[in-house]
Chain A
């Protein structure tokens, strides 16, 4: 679907609060704009974002047309165990993009 950048610390201590940053390329077309032909430009947005940590959901966001293009989402979670963080963005048509990042917890 698009290009995504995620930043997760590669290493953390058990119990650390870690910052996670994500960025995905998407036009986030609101549906309220008029094109040069005078026709409305149809809405095209990502409307759901989920982060799971070893399968458990730790963060979810609903996105709406007021979110700017190329949504940047940053949040915190607690490093509990080594494993994988999976990020998935789903657009209004149901297409999903998944990106993963590994973390080692000591």
Chain B
């Protein structure tokens, strides 16, 4: 092989390995842009969005006393419509007491354990989803505003590394679909950008409400990779990166997805 041909083939190899850059900020679209008009209408009508039933359960729990202190969330935080407005748009966030970020579900459990002296709720349990959905609902329409400061950066970067890492028997990365090929079809369905501004979601396939961690674990099984356990630091880092990536998009929680 001539020197020139070798250089050219190196360039070609480099070009196929290199992935497209991040989606430019002005081209980012909520995943609700990729669902059918019917599904979008269901999401935006509080009398048709089935997740609103769960939000009502969350409101009841917000006002229910729990734990050794016999206090409810409302006893400290008052009216969630005021005190929780915008909170979900800022999670995951760095928890200094743990030295690492926590997502909204984990923050609820931190509050239960340290402030209410109550037992932590299990991941993906009905009660934890209800409280999360109720709190997230208070941020609807507000821009995603997670912090990307020096303290958070290592965790966001760790999340990005997982997002860009090929994994599983299909040897796919999240980025290959959601950064490089969004808008195209996979098995007849449009590939969305994987923006996390609507969690927890009511997924029609599940016929119930579920968390972002559940959705991520779903995708990992789809890639035939071993999913991280609920609450694993890797999943929280990934959630952190995804929310940072969705910064500025309007919160839609609880969103409806197919």
> Which B residues between 202 and 222 are near A, CB-CB below 8 angstroms?
204, 207-208
Question: Given contacts A21-B47, A72-B48, is CB(A5)–CB(B207) below 8 Å?
Answer: no
Q: How many residues of B contact A (CB 8 A)?
A: 14
Contact with A along B40-64 (1 / 0, CB 8 A): 0010011110101110110000000
- By the criterion CB–CB under 8 Å, are A23 and B50 in contact? yes
> Which A residues between 1 and 57 are near B, CB-CB below 8 angstroms?
3-7, 21, 23-25, 27-28
- By the criterion CB–CB under 8 Å, are A5 and B56 in contact? yes
- By the criterion CB–CB under 8 Å, are A23 and B48 in contact? yes
Confirm or deny: A68 has a beta carbon within 8 angstroms of a beta carbon on chain B. Answer: yes
In the complex formed, the residue of B with least CB distance to A68 is B207
> Which B residues between 114 and 142 are near A, CB-CB below 8 angstroms?
none
Q: Which residues of B contact A5 (CB under 8 A)?
A: 46-47, 52-53, 56
What is the CB-to-nearest-CB distance from A74 to chain B, in angstroms, rounded to a whole number?
A: 8
Residue of B50, B57, B207 near A72 (CB, 8 A) is: B50
Given known contacts A5-B47, A7-B47, what 5 new A-B pairs fall within 8 Å (CB)? A5-B52, A5-B56, A23-B48, A69-B50, A70-B53
Q: Which residues of B contact A25 (CB under 8 A)?
A: 50, 53-54
In the complex formed, the residue of A with least CB distance to B208 is A69
- By the criterion CB–CB under 8 Å, are A23 and B207 in contact? no
Question: Given contacts A21-B47, A23-B48, is CB(A3)–CB(B207) below 8 Å?
Answer: no
- By the criterion CB–CB under 8 Å, are B57 and A70 in contact? no
- By the criterion CB–CB under 8 Å, are A69 and B207 in contact? yes
- In Å, the complex CA distance between A102 and B57 comes to 23
In the complex formed, the residue of A with least CB distance to B207 is A69
Q: How many residues of A contact B (CB 8 A)?
A: 16
Q: Which residues of B contact A21 (CB under 8 A)?
A: 45, 47-48
Question: Given contacts A3-B57, A5-B47, A7-B47, is CB(A23)–CB(B204) below 8 Å?
Answer: no
Q: Which residues of B contact A24 (CB under 8 A)?
A: 53
- In Å, the complex CA distance between A24 and B42 comes to 14
In the complex formed, the residue of B with least CB distance to A74 is B48
What is the CB-to-nearest-CB distance from B172 to chain A, in angstroms, rounded to a whole number?
A: 27
Q: Which residues of A contact B53 (CB under 8 A)?
A: 3-5, 23-25, 70
- By the criterion CB–CB under 8 Å, are B207 and A70 in contact? yes
- In Å, the complex CA distance between A58 and B190 comes to 41
- In Å, the complex CA distance between A17 and B240 comes to 48
In the complex formed, the residue of A with least CB distance to B48 is A72
> Which A residues between 75 and 102 are near B, CB-CB below 8 angstroms?
none
- In Å, the complex CA distance between A70 and B49 comes to 10
What is the CB-to-nearest-CB distance from A92 to chain B, in angstroms, rounded to a whole number?
A: 18
Can you name 23 A-B residue pairings with CB atoms under 8 Å?
A: A3-B53, A3-B56, A5-B46, A5-B47, A5-B56, A6-B47, A7-B47, A21-B45, A21-B47, A23-B50, A23-B52, A23-B53, A24-B53, A25-B50, A25-B53, A28-B207, A68-B207, A69-B50, A70-B50, A70-B53, A70-B207, A72-B42, A74-B48
What is the CB-to-nearest-CB distance from B41 to chain A, in angstroms, rounded to a whole number?
A: 12
Q: Which residues of A contact B207 (CB under 8 A)?
A: 27-28, 68-70
Q: Which residues of A contact B47 (CB under 8 A)?
A: 5-7, 21, 23
